Amino acid sequence: MEKKELHSNARFSCWTPLNNRAENMQLFEERINLVLHWFDLWTDRQRKRMMHSVLTRCTKAQLRYCRDLLTETLPTTQADFTAVLPRFLSLYIMSFLSPLDLCSAAQVSWHWRVLSEQDCLWAGRCIRQGWFLPYTPGEKEFGAWKKHFISCISTLDRLTPHEIAQHFWTLSQPYNGEEEEEEERLKERLIRQMIRTKIHEEKRVALRTRKAWSTSTRLGESGGRATTLGTTFKTSGPPNWSLSTSSDLSLEENVAHSSSSEDAVSNFPSRASGPLSKYVFRPAPRQRSNIHRNPANCLLLVSNKIPAYELVLSGAKADVIVVLYDYRGTLSALLSQVEEAVSGRTFKRLGLLAPGGTEEIHLFHNICLSDRTILIPAHRDFWEKLSIPVVPAEQGGGIDIFSPCAASTSGVALMQKLAALTGLNVWAPMGFATGSFQNILSDWSDGSIGAIGLSDPQPGGPALHYICEPVLIGWCRQAQWIEEALAEMKNCLEFRLQQVGLQARGRALGHSLWERVCLEDLRLSEDLSLALTEGLTVLSKQAETSPFEFLAAFLTKWSDEKETRDENLLSNVPLMSGLPQTQLDWRGVVARELQLSEVLYISRLSAIVKSYQEPLTAALNSNRAILSLADMLVILSPVAKILDLNREFKAALDARLQQWGAEQCVGDVCLKLCTHLRVYTNYLNNYTTALSAIDKCRDTKPAFRAFLKRTDRTLATHMLSLQELLLCPVWRIQEYTTLLQALTLHTHVSHPDHTQVSGALSTLQRYTKFIQKLKRNCERDRLLEETQQMIQGCPSLSEGNRQLIIRQDADLLHSPNDHIPESLRTYEHVADVSLFLFTDVLMLTWRQKKHTPFTVVHRSTHTFFASLALATLTVRKIVHSRYVKHAFILDGSSRSWVCATERGQEMDHFLSVLSSAMQTTLTST
């Protein structure tokens, strides 16, 4: 009786019998029925709340069971991939459809129609058929390329490959009508030159009539505003353009206006409507100027990726226009920068100083110029437009590439294709000199095999047309050292130094030109400017009582000496031009350069043994150890093995050069060296450990610190430190590759040495890739370590193969009202953030600036606050909004952030890199 009473009392209580299994299960079933009875009586909202509470208390295994149960109950049989996948993936899938299938897909739904009519799907199809839009679609215009495709295919307006070649010239099918249209091309060139000359003269007139630093003027001045018929619009065209009706234009001005619309008035509104459609821009009436002006000397393009480019800029000659461009830019941006610097002038030579090797030139971070990429339409169009300011080859025009492209077969092919594309002579170093950037100081060639191919009897002659000789030689030999010394300074002061430098140069130049020199009133030739400069320099060094008489005598003497130099130069030109190439043994030149550079390399390795290993070993044997035997083996033992190997290589090379002839072979000697590259492999694998051991011993052992202080950077060590000497084997591998490329280029296929030299070159090129991989790994680890220390509260970054791709500073924005459309939202600046993009995650940090009192210096601190996995991240731009610029939205799994950059180029570059990283992550997963 008591037991039955106990059971009835526990039925509706929280007590559960754990020891009696049968009663436990019976009580569980009763409570389940009670809960289900309650569940049937609840509303839909209460049921959802109950299910949410239960699911949040479940483990992962229980949640997986629920997922499988739901899948069996409600199986997913169909899904719209355009609603699930990101927009760019949906467009990528639709790009494989034919035009007929795309038209069918447009009938599925409104969303499918929007995707299937995107211009990115139809523009390529039209261009491949030779169908081009006669106008530029507007920003909000939709489906223009599809309509054009349908219009062309319905009228069968299709060009054959031969017709396409006649309208749009390509390298693969050269145009055959040059002789017939030569007169028309010359006439067009004269008209363009006349327009450029007018623009230049108009700028001179405008500069005289305004202040040095004015920024807002009327229409008669540069960059002004025109107000006509109640409408105001900005003009960015050349100065002194007047507004008039088209009926007032003369016949000659109409021809000039129509033929120069692409060059002179491309920045003006081209699709005027309403009352402004009858107004055009024309030059104001003025006196004509001679269109055949003397061209400037040289135009030099310098990439800011070049080590110590500041030294190159400081050594540029007075008659050279230098254009420093951003390595992160684009081809179109560089063209715009060149057009602004040229201002309608012509040049005899065009120089390009950018990172590169013997086979390719790295113009930008993701654009390489090589034998394979020169055929790309974007590259072809870029070089055709870039070569317009250069005079024809008959008048001495040409292109000088500072990379040793003439040292390899693919590099010579690149030069020949570039010469055929531009119609100019292309010169590049032959790569006979070794060292950091010292290839520029070697002989230059135009890539021709049947002719002499030398541009100047003096080594590095073409480069000396742009840069002064002392500065060029110093930069070529010390560029790598200078870059390492300035690397830390660039990282800390890059943005601030660039802004301050521009302001300082602008103020100094404006003060000098407008208040002291009055440059706008001077029109001097190149020879007169050079003579006056030299005369004033000599006058400043002497104490003359009558400076005017001294200057007159100096100019007379300088003129006589110039005439003598010109006569001697003209008398020597035929002798040099008639020298055949067969008299020059280029294989012997390369082999001797290999021997001389090997002597210097062995002397540096011997300096490590004599200046470091032998004294340390002697101190260890005399019981006055500076370093332990284990540390000496780690640091210095691999160097001795490399030294023995290269001494054998040099002895074999000396024996071949003593009996040098046309059929002599050195490829087997190089191939034997390549078979022992495992010595270098052991050295490179131990290189990081050796540097760490040097740093550790220098910090913990005062005797070793004093020894390094006495020995480093002395005459015995070639003015180098121990760490710099240990870097020599890495540099030597690259020198071997360059020299063997030059040797392969000048070794005929039928020569008995060709096969062995080619085999040694292939081995060294593969080994160079191995070294580059080691460098990238070290750089990745260094960046991760610096980022870890920079960000406060940052989680561990050393996981897997993670590496830092890019860092971007941005502004964090917030909208007070998220219910209105994005195009109408207003945003407020909440905080400064930094976006750190890694290979698998995007990290957001708070960025705070702390300024130092009484100075303009500031430093930034970063605090971690969020991280987003790239696999779950979606990014979209905020377009068609008048309240915010350069903004984008980062959508994560739980929340989103609105960020904005200061410039549109920064946003485009960051989003393109982020999109590539996201696509790589999706592919790998």
Q: What is the C-alpha to C-alpha distance for residues 388 and 392, in angstroms, rounded to an integer?
A: 9
What is residue 447's three-state secondary structure? Answer: coil
User: Mean pLDDT across the stretch 224-229?
Assistant: 34
Query: What are the tens digits of pLDDT across the range 832-844?
Result: 999 999 988 899 9
**Cβ density class 885-922: b for 16+ within 10 Å, e for less:** ebbbebebeeeebbbbbeeeebbebbbebbeebbeebe
Is residue 257 predicted with pLDDT exceeding 60? Answer: no
Q: Which of 870, 869, 851 is nearest to 861 (CA)?
A: 851
Average pLDDT of the segment spanning 72-79 = 75
- Is residue 213 pLDDT above 60, yes or no? no
Q: Which of 832, 810, 834 is nearest to 887 (CA)?
A: 810
Q: Which residues of 850-861 are buried (b: 16+ CB within 10 A; e: fewer)?
A: eeeeeeeeeeee
pLDDT per residue as tens digits for the range 892-903? 888 889 999 988
How far is residue 826 CA from its own chain's centroid?
35
Residue 159's pLDDT is: 54
d(C-alpha 917, C-alpha 924), whole Å: 11
Residue 243, H or E segment: strand 241-245
- The separation between CA 660 and the C-alpha centre of its own chain, rounded to angstroms, equals 44
pTM: 0.49
pLDDT bucket at 506, cuts 50 / 70 / 90: low
- Burial (CB count within 10 angstroms: exposed 0-12, middle 13-18, buried 19+), residue 186: exposed
Determine the pLDDT at residue 509.
Answer: 55
User: DSSP of 667-699, one letter per residue?
Assistant: HHHHHHHHTTTHHHHHHHHHHHHHHHHHHHHHH
Please tell me the predicted confidence (pLDDT) of residue 223. Answer: 37
Tell which wins on pLDDT, 366 or 230: 366
Lowest mean pLDDT among 127-136, 317-326, 332-341, 503-512: 503-512
According to the model, what pLDDT value does residue 820 have? 80
Task: Report d(CA 543, CA 547) in Å as an integer.
Answer: 9
Mean pLDDT, residues 59-73 = 88
How many other CB atoms are there within 10 angstroms of residue 666's CB atom? 24
Of the candidates 500, 514, 504, the residue with the CA atom closest to the CA atom of residue 214: 514
Count of alpha carbons within 13 angstroms of residue 921, beta-carbon side:
21
Rounded to the nearest integer, the mean pLDDT of the chain is 76
Quick check: 291 pLDDT over 80? no
Mean per-residue pLDDT, 22-37: 87
Element of type H or E holding 102 = helix 99-105
What gap in Å lies between CA 225 and CA 410, rounded to an integer? 51
pLDDT in tens, 822-871: 777 888 888 999 999 998 889 999 998 888 787 766 778 899 988 888 88
CA–CA separation, 329 vs 735, rounded Å? 30
- Lowest average pLDDT, out of 186-200, 267-281, 817-831, goes to 267-281
User: pLDDT grade, residue 435 (50/70/90)?
Assistant: low
Count the alpha carbons within 13 Å of 105 in the hemisphere toward its beta carbon: 24
Three-state SS sequence of 289-342: CCCCCCCEEEEEEEECCCCCHHHHHHCECCCEEEEEECCCCCHHHHHHHHHHHH
513-535: average pLDDT: 62
At 280, is the secondary structure helix, strand, or coil?
strand
Round to whole Å and give the CA distance between 441 and 464: 9
pLDDT band at 217 (very low <50, low <70, confident <90, very high): very low
The rounded percent of the chain whose pLDDT value lies above 90 is 10
Q: Write down the pLDDT at residue 894.
A: 81
Residue 78: the pLDDT is 72
pLDDT of amino acid 884 = 85
Amino acid 289: pLDDT:
37
Helix axes 629-658, 678-700, angle to 10 degrees: 140
With 60 as the cut, is the pLDDT of residue 226 above it?
no
Looking at per-residue confidence, does 850 or 176 come out higher? 850
Q: Hey, is 752 helix, strand or coil?
A: coil
Rg of the Cα atoms in the chain: 36
Cα gap 497→848, rounded to integer Å: 20
Query: What pLDDT does 587 receive?
Result: 86
Query: Please, where are the H alpha helices in 371-427?
Result: 377-386, 409-422
